[in-house]
């Protein structure tokens, strides 16, 4: 296999803190504005969402 660099890019969006989550029974639900989700899903780069609940 040819192991040459591709130069491809990705984007990472980091969200942290309790304001981005809602507690539901024994789990947490990530909450964000639909405008942000729409922006990330329609971005020209692949966007990885990283969430961290402090």
pLDDT > 80? residue 10: yes
Give the pLDDT of residue 54: 72
Quick check: pTM over 0.75?
Answer: no
Mind giving me the DSSP string for 1-54? ---------EEEEEEESGGGEEEETTEEEE---HHHHHHHHTSSSEEEEEEE--
Rounded Cα–Cα distance for residues 33 and 31 (Å): 7
**Sole residue written with tokens 């309790």:** 18
Kindly indicate the confidence band of residue 1, based on its pLDDT and cuts at 50, 70 and 90: low
């Amino acid at each position: 296999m040819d192991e040459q660099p591709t130069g491809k890019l990705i984007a990472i969006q980091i969200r942290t803190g309790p304001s981005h989550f809602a507690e539901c029974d024994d789990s947490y639900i990530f909450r964000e504005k639909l405008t942000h989700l729409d922006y990330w899903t329609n971005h020209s780069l692949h966007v990885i969402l990283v969430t961290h609940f402090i």
